[in-house]
């Protein structure tokens, strides 16, 4: 079954209720009501790879493995959207993109989970990410040896540099012609976007304080590419891009994956990984269409991001692996790292209308690369901001404590608001972790308990950044400044990679130390997070993992 | 089959559906219009044959002058349309942004007047309008440069991409210069026979024109290169103006300015074909740009936004205008050679 418009479901086409990728076809993300052919695999025959999750890690890996000739089935708990027909210019409606299942949050600084750190869609959270596509500072891959904090990665930065380039080409990143920080990098495939007024405020502030700034390398098109039009600066990026200008996993890697013969199962929640007596994984139990099913597989890749990945590993405990799979180190779930997402907001005399265009068009990585003048380890960047009205009202009510008439008066100043927001490196701490709670979810699976507390280093960085961003905003002419101190973003760690089985969960190839046919490929494997958004690095790791799997298969070492 | 039909009917119709077919239709319509105008322009060129009003055939200088008037008119039209669209996009936030519209309209008017005027005399009104265009181009370049450099980052790639286009006002100036040359070539002192080798500011007109047209083409290529680079050369056709017009310009300059004054017929013929190709590219380019408009979100159905966002439709005909001026220069050059 393939071809142009084929409609044979008597059911209404609600992608949140009825799986779309069935009967040999998957949604064509580039056409309303369109389909593309999809190869299907039998549940009883073991596929080469069952991949749990189709985001930056799993989706990228599914594509690369399918293109290398492996049989691949990728599962996602979320729906398979067609952005052109499913995405509204409505923040409330678009909350459907977030993972808002029950979780318990505790610790000294309980996390707010949902919008900026999770996704429940085929394509994962890249469907609503802010598209900021930054490379790690090279030293961060050896932050323990070179900078004295965190843990070393088992991968050389030069190797990562090559994979970064592959991802940047795939996503057709728009970026500046010369990047002010770090070693020379190849030219970005697309030119930078025009800066909006909010980005110009960042630039003015940076110039006033004498530090470098740059147009943000960003995964939305600045000129047409394939079936995708260039960005129209609609500004709903973090609520889902309805034009396909955003280059997400959903409209880049996955169409390629399907064309290469991968199968994608949407609305398919994997609840347990099965292991045999030999201690190898044999497949995954997943819930789809109202029933539990089982897919046999020769290898299983877990790519559910830093909460669902350890949850699945812990939920798959057996007599042989009583603490969960891949957990002989006891580190599955620990070293959870968010990133600091504090902001300074202010008001400009002139209109800014910061909601126009992608929210973070300009950035400075100055404090990622400068090591002097810091009283903390790690680094941070900060970017211009463009919150949509509901997010902004929630920020004013929640973080600034405004209500009633005071809130109304501030909302009237919406078009004049401007802000700088950091993405800061939190240090890995074993006490920050994902464990299983006693409560269960709608599938009867124990929900995740997420425990988080800042360390003193995190707090020092926060203070430094808030002070500096405040100076920058003031220098750019903003008044009525206030600090938003309680926000975090992104999730990493919980199944770190390393070169020692005693202190890490997977090796450099994302292969678990304990079970040779179990792999983990998402942000969970990060030993440290750095001061940049993680999506580019996750995809680069996935590309590297695919190459390594191919190499291992080539010499019969799978 | 029944199921398929029912399913199709249940798909909600959406206003923002990407209009593939209508868009392509519109693109073809625009390309057709462009071709039609190309034909008209060539026909006009043909009709520029000597009209028998004097005793003998009218001098070559008059014919060339009218050709140059025509080029100035076309370049003025491109500048008018381009500045109208772009300055409308900029909401005419500075009242001075109306100037290029007024001036290029004047250039078009006096140029059409020139094409109808058989007198071998420069005309004060035409000279005034052309002079005004040259001045406007110079001042406009200053304005645009100021707009670019006042932005954070100063004279950076980003500001060159998105600030006021540095090269754009030169189109108005070039239209004025072509007209100014037309007047000088046309002008004969009372009682004197038309010069066999007219001069402009002491330089043989053919040489000066060849230099002007070649530099004008190269400047336009630089502007195109900047903007096509901004578009990441996403369509291979975007390299065409990097290749064809520079070849035309080089052949023209090589033929006319080669120094010893005895260029081979072959080189003239090559220059003619190079310039014809450049002229054709100007029209084909409008078609390509129409296709580029279609590749923006909503395509031609969303024309009111995408004409502003997409590649500028009036930009490519500048090449046609300059190439036509180049062809006129070749006529002048041939005339000079016959006189030797």
pLDDT digits (tens, 9 = 90+) for B286-324: 999 999 999 999 999 999 999 999 999 999 999 999 999
To test the contact with chain A by mutation, choose from B148, B231, B234, B301 the residue with the greatest count of A C-beta atoms within 10 A, namely B234
Single out the residue of B323, B138, B156 nearest to residue B226, CA to CA: B156
The rounded distance, in Å, linking the Cα atoms of A487 and A271 is: 30
Alpha-carbon gap: A454 to the closest alpha carbon of chain B (Å): 36
In three-state secondary structure terms, A72 is strand
Residue A8 lies in a domain: no
Residue B50 lies in a domain: no
User: Touching check for B266 and chain A: CB below 8 Å?
Assistant: no
Q: What percent of chain A has pLDDT over 70?
A: 98
Reported as a single tens digit per residue, the pLDDT across A482-533 is 999 989 999 999 999 999 999 999 999 999 999 999 999 999 999 999 999 9
CATH number of the domain where residue A409 is located:
3.50.50.60
Reported as a single tens digit per residue, the pLDDT across B210-246 is 999 999 999 999 999 999 999 999 999 999 999 999 9
**How much is the pLDDT for B337?**
82
Q: Average pLDDT for residues A335-364, to the nearest whole number? A: 97
Q: DSSP labels for A502-518?
A: TT-SB-TTSBBSS-TTE
Q: Which of residues 174-233 of A touch B (CB under 8 A)?
A: 176-177, 189-192, 194-195, 200, 203-204, 207, 213, 215, 222-225, 229-230, 232
**How much is the pLDDT for A13?**
82
**How much is the pLDDT for B193?**
75
The DSSP symbol for B151 reads S
Structure tokens, A519: 């792999």
pLDDT band at B260 (very low <50, low <70, confident <90, very high): low
Residue A12 lies in a domain: no
The answer to whether A104 and A83 have CB atoms below 8 angstroms apart is no
**How much is the pLDDT for B5?**
35
Nearest to A190 among B8, B151, B232 (CB): B232
Q: Any idea which residue has 């090589």 for tokens? A: B254
Other CB atoms closer than 10 Å to residue A67's CB: what's the count? 18
Other CB atoms closer than 10 Å to residue A550's CB: what's the count? 16
Chain A: residue whose CA lies nearest to B3: A8
Nearest to A9 among B7, B152, B292 (CB): B7
**How much is the pLDDT for B58?**
73
The 3 state secondary structure assigned to A245-304 is: CECCCCCCHHHHHHHCCCEEECCCEEEEEEECCCCCEEEEEEEECCEEEEEEEEEEEECC
The 3 state secondary structure assigned to A96-109 is: HHCCCCCCEEECCC
Residue B209 lies in a domain: yes
The answer to whether A135 and A539 have CB atoms below 8 angstroms apart is no
User: The complex's ipTM?
Assistant: 0.92
To test the contact with chain B by mutation, choose from A229, A242, A247, A384 the residue with the greatest count of B C-beta atoms within 10 A, namely A229
**How much is the pLDDT for B261?**
55
Number of domains in chain A: 1
Structure tokens, A332: 């599955």
Residue A408 lies in a domain: yes
pLDDT band at A115 (very low <50, low <70, confident <90, very high): confident
The answer to whether A313 and A495 have CB atoms below 8 angstroms apart is yes
Residue A362 lies in a domain: yes
Residues of the domain holding B30: 22-45+59-339
Between chain A and chain B, how many beta carbons pairs sit less than 8 Å apart? 87
Residue A3 lies in a domain: no
**How much is the pLDDT for A35?**
98
**Cβ partners under 8 Å of residue B267, min gap 6:** B251, B254, B255, B258
Q: Which of residues 296-335 of B touch A (CB under 8 A)?
A: 296-297, 305, 309
Q: Name the strand (E) or helix (H) holding A483.
A: strand A479-484
Q: Is the pLDDT of residue B191 over 60?
A: yes
Reported as a single tens digit per residue, the pLDDT across B83-104 is 999 999 999 999 999 999 999 9
Residue B255 lies in a domain: yes
Q: Which of residues 243-262 of A touch B (CB under 8 A)?
A: 243, 245
pLDDT band at B56 (very low <50, low <70, confident <90, very high): low
pLDDT band at B339 (very low <50, low <70, confident <90, very high): confident
The answer to whether B278 and B248 have CB atoms below 8 angstroms apart is yes
**How much is the pLDDT for B14?**
35
Chain A: residue whose CA lies nearest to B229: A191
Chain-wide mean pLDDT for chain A? 96
Using alpha carbons, list the distances in angstroms from residue A255 to A27, A169, A170, A536: 9, 16, 12, 19
Does B157 contact A177 at a Cβ distance shorter than 8 Å? yes
Residue B131 lies in a domain: yes
Residue B222 lies in a domain: yes
Q: Which of residues 104-123 of B touch A (CB under 8 A)?
A: none
Number of domains in chain B: 1
Residues of the domain holding A288: 25-554
Q: Is the pLDDT of residue A345 over 60?
A: yes
The rounded distance, in Å, linking the Cα atoms of A30 and A16 is: 19
Q: Is the pLDDT of residue B48 over 60?
A: no
Contacts of B152 in chain A (CB under 8 A): 200, 203-204, 207, 213
Q: Average pLDDT for residues A441-459, to the nearest whole number? A: 97
Contacts of A207 in chain B (CB under 8 A): 152
**How much is the pLDDT for B200?**
86
**How much is the pLDDT for B19?**
38
Does B158 contact A215 at a Cβ distance shorter than 8 Å? yes
């Amino acid at each position: 079954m393939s071809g142009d418009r084929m409609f044979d479901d008597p059911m209404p086409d609600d992608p949140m209720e009825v799986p779309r990728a069935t009967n040999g076809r998957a949604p064509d993300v580039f056409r309303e009501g369109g389909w593309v052919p999809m190869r299907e695999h039998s549940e009883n025959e073991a596929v080469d790879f069952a991949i749990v999750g189709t985001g930056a890690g799993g989706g990228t890996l599914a594509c690369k493995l399918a293109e290398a000739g492996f049989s691949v089935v990728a599962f996602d708990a979320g729906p398979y959207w067609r952005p052109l027909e499913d995405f509204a210019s409505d923040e409330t409606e678009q909350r459907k993109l977030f993972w808002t299942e029950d979780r318990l949050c505790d610790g000294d600084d309980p996390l707010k989970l949902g919008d900026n750190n999770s996704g429940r869609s085929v394509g994962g959270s890249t469907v609503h990410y802010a598209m900021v596509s930054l490379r790690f500072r090279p030293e961060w891959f050896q932050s323990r040896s070179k900078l004295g904090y965190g843990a070393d990665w088992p991968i050389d930065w030069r190797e990562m540099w090559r994979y970064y380039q592959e991802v940047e080409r795939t996503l057709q990143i728009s970026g500046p012609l010369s990047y002010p920080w770090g070693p020379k990098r190849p030219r970005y495939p697309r030119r930078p976007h025009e800066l909006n007024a909010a980005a110009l405020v960042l630039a003015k502030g940076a110039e006033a304080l004498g530090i470098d700034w740059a147009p943000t390398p960003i995964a939305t098109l600045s000129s047409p590419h394939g079936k995708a039009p260039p960005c129209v600066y609609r500004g709903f990026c973090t609520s889902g891009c309805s034009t396909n200008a955003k280059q997400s996993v959903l409209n880049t890697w996955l169409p390629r994956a399907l064309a290469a013969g991968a199968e994608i199962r949407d609305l398919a929640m994997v609840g347990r990984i099965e292991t045999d007596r030999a201690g190898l994984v044999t497949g995954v139990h997943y819930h789809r269409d109202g029933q539990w099913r089982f897919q046999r597989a020769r290898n299983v890749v877990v790519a559910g991001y830093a909460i669902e990945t350890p949850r699945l590993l812990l939920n798959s405990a057996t007599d042989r692996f009583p603490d969960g799979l891949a957990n002989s180190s006891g580190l599955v779930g620990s070293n959870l790292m968010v990133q600091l997402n504090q902001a300074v907001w202010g008001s400009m005399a002139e209109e800014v209308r910061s909601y126009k265009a992608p929210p973070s068009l300009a950035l400075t990585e100055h404090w990622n690369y400068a090591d002097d003048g810091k009283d903390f380890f790690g680094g941070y960047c900060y970017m211009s901001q463009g919150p949509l009205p509901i997010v902004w009202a929630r920020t004013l009510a929640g973080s600034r404590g405004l209500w009633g008439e005071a809130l109304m008066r501030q909302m009237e100043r919406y078009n004049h608001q401007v802000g700088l927001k950091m993405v800061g490196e939190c240090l890995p701490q074993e006490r920050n972790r994902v464990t299983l709670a006693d409560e269960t979810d709608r599938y009867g699976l124990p929900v995740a308990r997420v425990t988080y507390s800042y360390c003193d280093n995190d707090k020092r960085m926060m203070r430094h950044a808030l002070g500096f961003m405040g100076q920058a905003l003031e220098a750019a002419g903003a008044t009525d400044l206030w600090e938003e101190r309680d926000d975090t973003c992104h999730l990493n760690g919980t199944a770190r990679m390393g070169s020692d089985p005693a202190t890490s969960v997977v090796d450099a190839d994302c292969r678990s130390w304990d079970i040779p046919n179990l792999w983990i490929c998402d942000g969970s494997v990060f030993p440290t997070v750095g001061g940049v958004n993680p999506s580019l690095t996750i995809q680069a790791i996935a590309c590297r993992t695919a190459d390594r799997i191919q190499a291992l298969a080539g010499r019969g070492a799978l | 089959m029944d199921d398929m039909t029912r399913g199709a009917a249940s798909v909600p119709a959406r206003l923002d559906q990407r209009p593939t077919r209508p868009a392509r239709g519109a693109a073809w319509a625009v390309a057709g219009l462009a071709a039609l105008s190309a034909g008209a322009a060539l026909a006009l060129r043909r009709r520029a044959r000597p009209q028998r009003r004097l005793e003998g055939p009218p001098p070559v200088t008059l014919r060339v002058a009218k050709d140059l008037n025509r080029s100035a008119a076309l370049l003025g039209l491109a500048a008018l349309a381009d500045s109208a669209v772009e300055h409308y996009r900029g909401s005419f936030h500075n009242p001075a942004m109306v100037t290029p519209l007024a001036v290029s309209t004047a250039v078009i008017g006096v140029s059409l007047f020139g094409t109808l005027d058989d007198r071998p005399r420069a005309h004060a009104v035409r000279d005034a309008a052309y002079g005004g265009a040259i001045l406007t181009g110079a001042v406009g370049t200053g304005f645009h440069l100021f707009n670019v450099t006042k932005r954070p980052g100063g004279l950076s790639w980003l500001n060159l991409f998105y600030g006021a286009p540095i090269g754009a006002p030169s189109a108005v100036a070039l239209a004025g210069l072509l007209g100014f040359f037309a007047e000088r070539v046309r002008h004969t002192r009372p009682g004197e026979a038309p010069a066999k080798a007219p001069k402009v500011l002491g330089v043989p007109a053919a040489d000066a024109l060849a230099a002007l047209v070649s530099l004008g083409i190269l400047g336009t290529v630089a502007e195109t290169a900047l903007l096509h680079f901004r578009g990441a050369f996403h369509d291979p056709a975007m390299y065409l103006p990097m290749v064809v017009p520079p070849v035309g310009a080089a052949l023209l300059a090589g033929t006319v300015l080669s120094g010893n004054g005895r260029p081979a017929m072959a080189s003239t013929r090559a220059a003619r074909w190079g310039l014809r190709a450049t002229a054709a590219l100007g029209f084909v380019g409008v078609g390509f740009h129409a296709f580029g408009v279609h590749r923006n979100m909503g395509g031609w159905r969303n024309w009111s936004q995408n004409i502003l966002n997409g590649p500028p439709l009036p930009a490519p005909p500048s090449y046609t205008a300059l190439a036509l001026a180049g062809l006129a220069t070749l006529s002048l050059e041939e005339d000079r050679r016959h006189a030797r």
